[in-house]
Structure formats: C-alpha cells, structure tokens
A and B are shown apart, each in its own frame.
Chain A
Amino acid sequence: MADERKMNDLDELFRKAKKLEAPDTLWKKVSDGVSETQREKPAFSLGETVKSIFAPVWVRAAVPLAVTAAAIAIVIRLSATTTVPEIYDAETIAAVNEAISEAYGENGAFAEHPSYAANGLAKEDINEFINEQLNEIYRINGGDNNA
C-alpha cells in the first residue's frame, strides 16, 4: 500500500511536469548561430553505387588497386554527364583501362577535370572519396587489393 502510494505520488509529479516550453529567446539564438555556421558538404552520392555495383565487378575481375582507383575517378567524371546504368553497360573494365592515363596523368597525381568543379568538388574531395572507396574495396576484397 505504501509502495503503491509512493508510485502514485511520483507518477503524479511526472504527469504535472510536462508543461515546459522553450523560451522565446531560444530561436533568436539558434537562428543567429545558424546564419554564422558553415555547413558540412553533402556526402558524395556515388559512394553507395560504387560499393554496390562497381566494386564487386572489379573484385571479381581481379582489377589491380591502381586501376580501381582510376576507374572510380572516371565514374565520378562521367557522372556529371551521364547515368550510372549507361556506364555500367559499357564494359566497365575497358573503361577502366582507358581511364588510367586520364585519371593519373603523367606525374601520378589525380588529374583535374572541369566536371569536378561543376559538381562542387575540390581535388581534395575526390582524393578523400577515392580513399574511402579503396578502403571499402580493400575490406570487401578480404584485405587483399591484388586479389
């Protein structure tokens, strides 16, 4: 009986305590903060596509790491003007081979391309994205990039 009363008292306290509202001043603080805040860049949307469609193809075909990176670079470039299924149907491995020189250039660095900027991507974004994808492919591939 005493326990039940204790519970009822507590429940009554909780029931009555639901009426707080945010102070009027809060939205002003939030909106001021929002207007001064630099937003994070959206996650690059091709990530899931690369993982679900391209990576398995490359793994099955035992495509070497460097070629895989080049392929990702060309996927990013082509995505500015065409759709993923069109790329996929056009013999991925051949595209990979063609991509090597363009993606890497003469000095081994990823080449600049106007479509990167058109997509709001800096060279660093591309490198970061490719690194993420390579790590994922490495994981899918059982930790062996040359498999």
Chain B
Amino acid sequence: MSDEAQIVEKARSGDTAAFKSLYDKYGRFVWSVAFRMTYDFDEAEDVAQDVFISAWKSLPGFRGVSAFSTWLYRITVNHTINRVKRRRITKELTDETLRHVLDSGVFMRQNPAAAADELDVEKRLAALLNRLDADRRMAVILREIEGLSYEEIAEATGVPIGTVRSRLARGRKDLEEMAANGG
C-alpha cells in the first residue's frame, strides 16, 4: 500500500491528522481551481471548504477503485461548476468586479510570494478566462494551469476524452483570439 493510500485509509477511519495531510497536499489545487473559476476570494474559500467537508463526509464510502486524487478532483469540479452555474443565474461576474477583487490587496496579502507582475499576469488571465463558458474554462484551468492529463480531466469532469479535447481546443482558440484582440 502506498504512503498516500495509508494516509487515505487513516482519514477514512476518522483520523483528522491524516485528513490534514491530504489537505496539505491538495488544498492548493482545490482552492486554486475554485478561485480561478469564480475570481471571488470569499466564494472560492466557501467552495474549497465545501469540497473538503464533502470529502471528509464521504470518505468512509471511498473504496479506492480510483486514486484519491481523481476522486477529489471530481468533487472539486462538481462543487465548483455547480456553484458557478447556479451563481450565473443571479449574479454575472463583470470585469469591473474582477478588477476590484484583484486590486483589493487581499490576494497579495494572502499570497505574499506573488510579485506585482504576477498579479498583473493574474489580471490578464482572469480577463480572458472570465469570457469562457464554465465547461471550457474548467478544462483549460485543469490542463493548462494545473497540468492534469486528458484522462484525469475526463474522469474529473465525467465526460469522454474526445469532449475534453474539444473543450480544450475551442477554449484555447477563443483565448488566443481574445488575447490577440487585447484581452
């Protein structure tokens, strides 16, 4: 049994220290995906919290058929997409709101390692990602930023690999055109 499998087994049986180890390994991924899908600091925290609580709650039923990472990626995608799609009915995230969140300084305080130019990069990225639909945006984030394989994205999003390829190709094409037109 791998080290991670042993940690998962401990967390499964209720060991919160083991669960913290899993959080330490995957917390960055979960929050990062949630943040780049919402570009709302508080909302991203809420989503990430929901993901880990859901994982904690469901772990006893986790049979280890897939890797823990795959299972957690899927929970992350489901929670985030649900939140984004639900929110879009009542609240459209505007570029103005986006600039406000990024300019507020919260992002910098929480992530002191980020230099000003990195914040500028994030602004440019946000301006582009914000114009993609949720499914393409998720695919692009998982592949281009988080570095997941096509297979991992297919499992996390619950769609065939062909659909993943299509979303990525179209998402990249949209982004390239937007970038060429000044974002």
Contacts and interface: CB of A to CB of B under 8 A. Distances in A.
Contact residues of B: prevailing secondary structure? helix
B53 interface: yes
A107 interface: no
A60 interface: no
Interface stretch (B74-82, B84-92, B108-116, B154-162): B108-116
A17 B102 CA distance: 14
A14 B23 contact: no
Contacts of B60: 39-43
Contacts of B27: 22, 26-27, 30
Interface size class of B (residues with CB under 8 A): 35 or more
Contact residues of A: prevailing secondary structure? helix
B49 interface: yes
B56 A26 contact: no
Contacts of B145: 14, 17-18
Interface size class of A (residues with CB under 8 A): 20 to 34
Given A10-B175, A31-B16, A42-B61, A23 B31 contact: yes
Contact of B31 (A3, A22, A33, A41): A22
A24 B52 CA distance: 15
A40 B57 contact: yes
Interface of B: 14, 16, 19-20, 23, 27-28, 30-32, 35-36, 41, 45, 48-49, 52-53, 56-61, 63, 110-111, 113-114, 118, 121-122, 124-125, 128, 144-145, 172, 175-177, 179-180
Interface of A: 2-3, 6-7, 9-11, 13-14, 16-27, 29-31, 33-35, 37-43
